[in-house]
């Protein structure tokens, strides 16, 4: 737990004393409200104090035990939720702090939202109460062995049989086997299955169906259903607690009313009827989850940076030539230039995630009122932000591991498991490259419409300012000029627009649009990244412009915002220079300003990670302990490894002793 307990010594107290802002108010700025801080705090402590939720031994558990441990934790969490009558908000936070991937994530995160989004009112009335009480467990079975990204290429069939008023679910090929769905392998009783709807001999494409997979009596697979886990995954512990599964159907029959019929229906006679809504609403659950993944990116990156900042503040290496104490590694400028942009990114992703949640809610309300005008904006923002934030977070966690030197490689640092658990976020819910290409296509469409005078809206509104942005010159003359939000915003807008226009022009030179999009896809990726980075920078600037209470809080957030933006300028200087948005000298000034910002951030670094308000249990890291008392903890942790159960290892008699004896004989020769 955090410092303050009897007898604890705060080894980072000196660091905390140098903070130039009110940490308590920063906690509120980070969490979104005082209420959010309090609820999160209560739930985190509830989990941390419960021995069932212990996780320090997780990476040492064999897979079967790890899975059983996940089942136990999930059941215990549910018991506590019911006993304590927790609200939905509290229950979600409790599950978050349990911090172990498991079937419940998919049950609440995808199965329930899929029924809510795609089921009729009648279907919701039937299925949701069962799901809410855990009388059924559900998963989201979309991806197949042969196809994941290309949803329209899925092969599972749902053929309507009007004689019995049923759909026949079938897996016609090996590649049509459902493959990857979380919770499918061992836990789920039901799934929302995506399959090709065939009626009256015609294939109407992909639709969702609720299918029961296992007996509610003894959990055995129902006749015609083949089920299993797809095998061990990357890393120890990590995502191996999840039963990602395989599923095959052999002509399994389900009632007609188990097709999710909000968007389209099949009548008793077998007639296909499509409601007058965009077909893409079928992808609604993915849009919802992508939005939550952006919020999760800031959680994962803030955990990693919290560990790396605290450890870097206590770790010392080398010292002045004249003798004296060694230097805290956090004082090395190289450590700061690698770590502080990640800390700033964690804050940036937090605020853009907050904004994205607002956008998603707004779009949902519009959809309910049959206004589909913002569907494309929602798709572009969720897909693009999911891709950019998860890639940066996965890379950032790995960088934090390196920033912790050798000890970062130990499981007890928490970083290897955090990385292994997090990195599939770059793939699931849409491969990041595939998603960025979706964004780029929308940007190309927007550019092509500019000539006709159509004004882009939402996050693409800046593209309407094309005349100015194509020729404007950055007005920065001194390093301090880079502290102007207007200057930053302008170069990011000009860079994104010019890259998009250049790419569109190159595509137009290709023999066909499709060929151009194909040939220039590597450039398109960069166009999409530039646009998404502009959104993140803009939302951070807008956040800092709000009224933010607490001494020094706004100043710290402004610094972090500037670090984030100028770090991107430095990292992508090639883009800014090649598009003529700024000069090489202005690039050098940006870097100069960045150095000054790092120096200002340094005395606040530990307090800025304290503001995340993570318990030691949630952090799960010996190196990231709140009290900074790392070495005794590292030492103790090593002795807990099963390899240290006995001084002489298993295998000595069979493999070491004969070897050593043989060498003895040889040396006597
Ligand atoms: C909470 C706890 C968490 C839960 C915990 C989380 C744990 C992890 C769970 C992981 C779960 C999963 O991975 S579930 C599986 C996730 N699978 C994926 O994400 C698959 C990714 N693939 C796709 O989304 C799609 O197939 C596409 C977008 C790549 C391609 O689709 P397509 O149908 O072929 O479409 P395409 O021709 O490109 O586009 C046709 C038109 O539709 C638009 N369009 C495409 N997608 C969308 C969309 N979603 N919304 C609106 N519009 C869209 C395009 O802009 C285009 O517009 P216009 O040009 O016509 O105007
Ligand atoms: C841990 C984990 C959990 C998952 N959970 C679920 C779940 O609960 N339910 C579910 O249904 N699925 C789930 N999935 C599946 C996941 O959604 C897919 O793996 C994901 O959508 C990527 O699809 P793919 O595997 O087909 O990759 P592929 O598309 O085969 O990607 C392979 C490579 O091809 C590239 N590529 C593909 N298409 C293009 C293109 N058009 N242009 C350029 N490059 C391209 C990709 O960038 C990538 O480099 C999960 C996956 C993982 C790893």
**CA–CA dist 72, 245 (Å, integer):** 19
Q: In terms of domains, do 304 and 414 share one? A: yes
Task: Look up residue 572 and give its two tokens.
Answer: 């992508």
Q: What is the pLDDT of residue 537?
A: 98
The enclosing domain of 508 has a CATH number of: 1.20.140.10
Report the relative pairing of strands 327-328 and 245-249 from DSSP bridges: unpaired
Specify whether 429 is catalytic. Answer: yes
Ligand 2 within 6 A of CB of 424: yes
Residue in 428, 436, 440, 519 to alter for ligand 2 test, most ligand atoms within 8 A of Cβ? 428
SS3 (DSSP) at 62? coil
* pLDDT of 322: 85
Helices (H), 521-579: 521-545, 553-571, 573-578
Write down the pLDDT at residue 2: 47
In a domain, 371, yes or no: yes
CATH, residue 156: 2.40.110.10
Q: Would you say residue 246 has pLDDT above 80?
A: yes
Q: What is the pTM of this model?
A: 0.97
Mark the binding-site residues for FAD, compressed into ranges.
143, 182
Q: Which residues are CB-contacts of 474 (< 8 A; sequence separation ≥ 6)? A: 487, 490, 491, 494, 581, 582, 583, 586
Structure tokens at 186: 């061992």
In a domain, 348, yes or no: yes
Does ligand 1 have an atom closer than 6 angstroms to the CB of 428?
yes
Band the pLDDT of 3: cuts 50, 70, 90: very low
Does residue 105 have its Cβ closer than 6 Å to ligand 1?
Answer: yes
Give yes or no: residues 172 and 296 share one domain. no
Give domain status of residue 123, yes or no. no
**Is 591 among the domain residues?**
yes
Nearest CA to ligand 1 atom 38: 438
Query: Do 192 and 149 fall into the same domain?
Result: yes
Sorted by sequence, the CB contacts under 8 Å of residue 151 that are 6+ apart come out as: 142, 194, 206, 283
Dist. CA 351 → ligand 1 center (Å): 24
Query: Domain check: are 526 and 383 in the same one?
Result: yes
Q: How confident is the model at residue 5 (pLDDT cuts 50, 70, 90)?
A: very low
Structural domain boundaries, residue 165: 136-276
Residue 167 Cα to ligand 1 middle (Å)? 25
Residue at a domain's end among 610, 633, 653: 610
**pLDDT value, residue 668:** 63
Strands 190-199, 178-179: pairing kind = unpaired
Q: Based on the domain organization, do 260 and 291 belong to the same domain?
A: no
Residues 489-516 have a mean pLDDT of 97
Per residue, the 3-state secondary structure of 189-220, as one string, reads: CEEEEEEEEEECCEEEEEEEEEEECECCCCCC
Give the pLDDT score at 451: 87
425 and 532 inside one domain: yes
In whole angstroms, what is the distance from residue 63 CA to residue 237 CA? 8
Candidate from 8-12, 93-97, 287-291, 366-370 with smallest mean pLDDT: 8-12
Q: State the total domains in the chain.
A: 2
Which among 559, 594, 610 is the end of a domain? 610
Same domain, 244 and 293: no
Decide if 93 is inside a domain.
no
**Assign residue 128 a region: left if phi > 0, alpha if psi is -120 to 50, beta otherwise?**
alpha
Looking at residue 664, its pLDDT comes to 61
Task: Give me ligand 1 centre to Cα 127, in Å.
Answer: 25
Report the percent of the chain where pLDDT is more than 90.
94
Pocket test for ligand 2, best of 152, 434, 435, 438 (most atoms within 8 A of CB): 434
Domain match, 192 and 304 both: no
490 in the same domain as 352: yes
- 147/324: higher pLDDT: 147
Task: Give every CB contact of residue 493 below 8 A, 6+ residues apart in sequence.
Answer: 462, 465, 469, 534
pLDDT per residue over 348-407, tens digit each? 999 999 999 999 999 999 998 999 999 999 999 999 999 999 999 999 999 999 999 999
Calpha distance 415→304 (Å, rounded): 7
- Do residues 290 and 194 both lie within one domain? no
Using one digit for the tens of pLDDT, what is the confidence trace for 576-625? 999 999 999 999 999 999 999 999 999 999 999 999 999 999 999 999 99
- In the predicted model, what is the mean pLDDT of residues 202-216? 98
Q: Taking Cα atoms as reference points, which of 516, 539, 491 lies closest to residue 348?
A: 539
pLDDT band at 318 (very low <50, low <70, confident <90, very high): very high
Structural domain contains residue 89: no
Q: What does the pLDDT read at residue 6?
A: 44
**Feature table: binding site:** 143, 182
| CB 390 near ligand 2, within 6 Å | no
Residue nearest (by alpha carbon) to ligand 1 atom 33: 152
Q: Is the Cβ–Cβ distance between 176 and 182 less than 8 Å?
A: no
Structural domain includes residue 79: no
Among 561, 588, 610, identify where a domain stops. Answer: 610
- Looking at the structure, tell me whether residues 309 and 427 fall in a common domain: yes
CB 143 less than 6 A from any atom of ligand 2: yes
Task: State whether the beta carbon of 321 lies less than 6 angstroms from ligand 1.
Answer: no
Any ligand 2 atom below 6 A from CB of 181: yes
**Which candidate in 2, 399, 429, 490 is catalytic?**
429
Each residue's pLDDT tens digit, 536-559? 999 999 999 999 999 999 999 999
Q: Is 602 domain-assigned?
A: yes
Residues 215 and 263 in one domain: yes
Q: Give the model's pLDDT for residue 4.
A: 39
Here the tokens at position 61 are: 């558990």
């Amino acid at each position: 737990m955090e410092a303050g307990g009897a007898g604890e010594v705060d080894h980072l107290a000196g660091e905390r004393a140098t903070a130039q802002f009110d940490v308590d108010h920063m906690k509120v700025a980070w969490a979104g409200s005082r209420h959010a801080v309090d609820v999160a705090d209560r739930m985190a402590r509830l989990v941390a104090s419960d021995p069932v939720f212990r996780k320090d031994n997780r990476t040492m558990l064999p897979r079967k035990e790890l899975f059983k441990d996940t089942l136990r934790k999930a059941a215990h969490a549910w018991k506590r939720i019911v006993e304590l009558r927790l609200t939905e908000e509290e229950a979600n936070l409790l599950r978050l702090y349990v911090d172990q991937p498991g079937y419940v994530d998919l049950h609440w995160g995808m199965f329930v939202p899929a029924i809510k989004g795609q089921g009729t009112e009648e279907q919701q009335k039937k299925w949701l109460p069962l799901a809410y009480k855990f009388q059924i467990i559900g998963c989201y079975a979309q991806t197949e062995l042969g196809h994941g990204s290309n949803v329209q290429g899925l092969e599972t069939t749902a053929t309507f049989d009007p004689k019995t008023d049923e759909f026949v679910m079938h897996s016609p090929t090996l590649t049509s086997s459902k493959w990857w769905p979380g919770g499918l392998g061992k836990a789920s009783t039901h799934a929302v299955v995506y399959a090709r709807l065939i009626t009256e001999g015609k294939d109407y494409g992909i639709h969702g169906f609720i299918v029961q997979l296992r007996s509610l009596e003894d959990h055995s697979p129902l006749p015609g259903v083949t089920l299993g886990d797809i095998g061990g995954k990357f890393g120890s512990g990590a995502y191996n607690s999840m039963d990602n599964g395989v599923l095959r159907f052999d002509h399994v029959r389900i009632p007609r009313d188990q097709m999710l019929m909000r968007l389209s229906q099949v009548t008793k006679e077998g007639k296909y009827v499509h409601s007058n809504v965009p077909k893409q609403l079928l992808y609604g659950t993915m849009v919802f989850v992508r939005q939550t993944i952006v919020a999760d990116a800031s959680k994962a990156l803030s955990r990693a940076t919290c560990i790396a900042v605290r450890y870097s503040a206590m770790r010392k290496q080398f010292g002045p030539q004249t003798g004296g104490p060694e230097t805290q590694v956090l004082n090395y400028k190289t450590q700061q230039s690698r770590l502080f942009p990640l800390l700033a990114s964690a804050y940036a992703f937090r605020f853009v995630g907050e904004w994205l949640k607002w956008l998603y809610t707004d779009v949902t309300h519009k959809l309910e009122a049959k206004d589909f005008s913002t569907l494309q904006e929602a798709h572009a923002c969720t897909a693009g932000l999911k891709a950019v934030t998860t890639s940066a977070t996965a890379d950032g966690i790995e960088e934090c591991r390196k920033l912790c030197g050798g000890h970062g490689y130990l499981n007890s640092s928490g970083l290897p498991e955090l990385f292994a658990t997090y990195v599939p976020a770059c793939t699931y819910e849409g491969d990041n490259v595939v998603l960025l290409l979706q964004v780029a296509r929308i940007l190309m469409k927007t550019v092509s419409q500019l000539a006709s005078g159509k004004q882009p809206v939402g996050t693409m509104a800046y593209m309407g300012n094309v005349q100015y942005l194509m020729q404007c010159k950055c007005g920065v003359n001194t390093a301090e000029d880079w502290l102007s939000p207007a200057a930053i915003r302008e170069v990011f807008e000009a860079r994104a627009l010019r890259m998009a226009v250049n790419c569109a022009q190159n595509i137009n030179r290709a023999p066909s649009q499709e060929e151009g999009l194909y040939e220039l896809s590597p450039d398109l990726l960069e166009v999409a990244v530039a646009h998404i980075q502009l959104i993140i920078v803009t939302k951070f600037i807008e956040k800092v412009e709000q009224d933010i209470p607490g001494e020094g809080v706004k100043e710290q957030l402004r610094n972090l915002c500037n670090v984030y933006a100028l770090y991107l300028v430095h990292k992508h200087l090639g883009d800014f220079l090649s598009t003529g948005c700024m000069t090489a000298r202005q690039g050098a000034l940006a870097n100069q300003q960045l150095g000054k910002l790092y120096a200002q951030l340094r005395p606040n670094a530990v307090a800025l990670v304290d503001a995340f308000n993570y318990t030691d249990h949630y952090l799960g890291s010996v190196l990231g302990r709140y009290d900074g008392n790392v070495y005794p903890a590292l030492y103790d942790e090593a002795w807990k490894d099963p390899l240290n159960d006995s001084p002489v290892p298993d295998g000595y008699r069979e493999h070491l002793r004969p070897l050593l004896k043989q060498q003895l004989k040889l040396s006597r020769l």
